[in-house]
Amino acid sequence: MRARFFCTLTLIGCLTMPLAAGKGTSAGLAGQPLKPGIPREDFYIFRKIPDAPVFTLERQTSIYRLLEKGPLLFTLVYTRCNGVCYPMIRSLRSAVERLGGLGTDYRILVLSFDPRDEPEDMAAMARVEGLSGHPHWIFGTTGPENIRQLVASVGYWRQPDSLKQQVNHPAVLIGLNRNGQIVRFLVGASIAPARLAEVIKEMRGEFVPSYPLPRKNVIFSCFQYQADKGLKLNWGFALLLMPGVVTLGGSLWIFHRGAHQRRSAPGGF
């Protein structure tokens, strides 16, 4: 009797799970709201980024010189940001730590788009994020004219908000292959490791035949395929496995229940 109750409960649970969970994750990583003016990678795909000097506290180099050592993950920030910049760096850092490959497959270049930022400011930002002196995270500044060029070359925009004394801007992470060509944009402050893995793959020179576009409020995404790590179990994948798992459990239960009858029935086995 108890078993039957339990099974009914599981079934009801399974049936309502999508509804319940759908509400829960609506604001989660799958759905990034599509604002107008979000940089669209399709307009810039495979274009070459212009060169620009990079000033850090320790040295002076340039984007192209950095590219000589391998692909770059590139993003634009400003240190006075009260909004998206710091959370994005944090999210990127945790995703990168999960995926690995930093330093061998690619490095990360964080440039300021604010002419007021000095290399010291960028170094401070690195310190805040616990990345001070990290050999593969490069926090730097560049010249005002270079900022203009870079911003135009990736469809980035800046909108001063005088009220809040802030600059509105999108959060975009850009994958550059070793030729300095744009292979992928990741839009939004939270970096999904699965998506980042695709960018890294592509930067490394592997072809990613398909990927999800930024979408609104997707209930469950399906396969989160991670380079080198195989399939990751997420809600969508779990739903796909659910019929099989429930069937397995259900069949075992049916035959377990049958055992009583088999014993009591005449001619049973």
Partner 1 sequence: MPVQQIAFLVWLLFAIIIAAVFGIIGWRSRQKVDVSPARVNRFRILLLVILLVLSVIFWAYTLPKVPYPTEARQPDMVVFVTGKQFNFGIATHPMPTEKEWEEVVNFGEPVVLPRNKLIEFRVTSLDVNHGFSLYDPDHLLIGQVQAMPGYMNRLRYRFTKPGEYTVLCLEYCGNGHHRMRGAFTVQ
Partner 2 sequence: MEATTIQSTRQPEPIILIQETTLTGEEQAQFKKLTLVWLTTALALFPILVILGLLMRGSQAAILKMSPELFYAFMTLHGLGMVGIWYIAGMAGAGLLLSRYVRPSLALSRGVFWATLVAVVLLIVATLIGKFITGWYFLYPLPLYPADVWKPWATLAFFAFLTIAGVAWTLWTVDYLRAIASRYSLKRALAWDVLFKKVKESDVPPMILILTVSLISALAGFLAAVVLIALFAAEALSSGFTNDALLMKNLVFYFGHVLVNITMYLGVAMVYELFPAFAEKGKLTTKWMVAAAWNASLLLVNLAYFHHLYMDFVQPGLLQKLGQIASYLVSVPAGVVTIISVLSLAFGSRMTWRLPSLLFFLGVMGWAIGGMAAVVDSTIVVNFRFHNTLWVPAHFHTYYLAGVVFMILGFAFQYAAELSGKAENLRLGRWLTALLTVGAYGFLSMFFYAGAHSVPRRYAVYPSEVHQGAGYAQVAIVFILLILTGVIIYLWEYGRRCVHAFSAHSH
Binding site for partner 1 (CB under 8 A): 40, 42-43, 45-46, 177, 179, 181, 183, 201-202, 204-213, 215, 218
Residues 6+ apart with CB under 8 A from 236: 220, 221, 222, 223, 224
Query: If contact means CB under 5 to 8 A according to the sort of partner, which of partner 2, partner 1, none does residue 219 touch?
Result: partner 2
The three-class DSSP label of residue 151 is: helix
Residue 151, interface with partner 2 (CB under 8 A)? no
Q: How many residues does the chain have?
A: 269
User: Could you tell me if 80 and 128 are in contact, meaning their C-beta atoms sit under 8 angstroms apart?
Assistant: no
Instruction: Give the range of 66-74, 106-114, 117-125, 229-237 binding partner 2 by CB under 8 A.
Output: 229-237
> In the range 29-48, which residues lie near partner 2 by CB under 8 A?
30
Q: How far apart are CB 96 and partner 2 at their closest, in Å?
A: 22
Give min distance, CB of 212 to partner 1, in A.
Answer: 5
Report the greatest alpha carbon distance in the chain.
Answer: 92
Instruction: Choose which of 12, 34, 128, 254 interacts with partner 2 (CB under 8 A).
Output: 254
Q: Which does 162 bind (CB under 5 to 8 A by kind): partner 1, partner 2, none?
A: none
Going by C-alpha positions, the residue among 90, 199, 78 that lies closest to residue 139 is 78
Q: Distance (Å, rounded) from C-alpha 191 to C-alpha 94? A: 9
CA-based radius of gyration for the chain: 25
Q: Which is nearer to partner 1, 210 or 264 (CB)?
A: 210
Q: Does 215 bind partner 2 (CB under 8 A)?
A: yes
Least distance to partner 1 from the beta carbon of 231, Å?
Answer: 16
Contact partners, residue 73, CB within 8 Å, separation at least 6: 92, 106, 107, 108, 109, 173, 174, 175, 176, 199, 200, 203
Q: What is the spatial distance between Cα 43 and Cα 63, in angstroms, rounded to a whole number?
A: 21
If residue 77 lies in a helix (H) or strand (E), which one and from where to where? Answer: strand 72-77
Choice between 45 and 259, CB closer to partner 1: 45
> Applying CB under 8 A, does 177 fall inside the site for partner 2?
no
- Per partner kind, with CB cut-offs from 5 to 8 A, the member of partner 2, partner 1, none near residue 43 is partner 1
Residues forming contacts to partner 2 in the complex (CB under 8 A) are 14-16, 18-19, 22-23, 26, 30, 209-212, 215-223, 225, 230-231, 236, 239-240, 242-244, 246-247, 250-252, 254-255, 257-259, 261-262, 265, 268-269
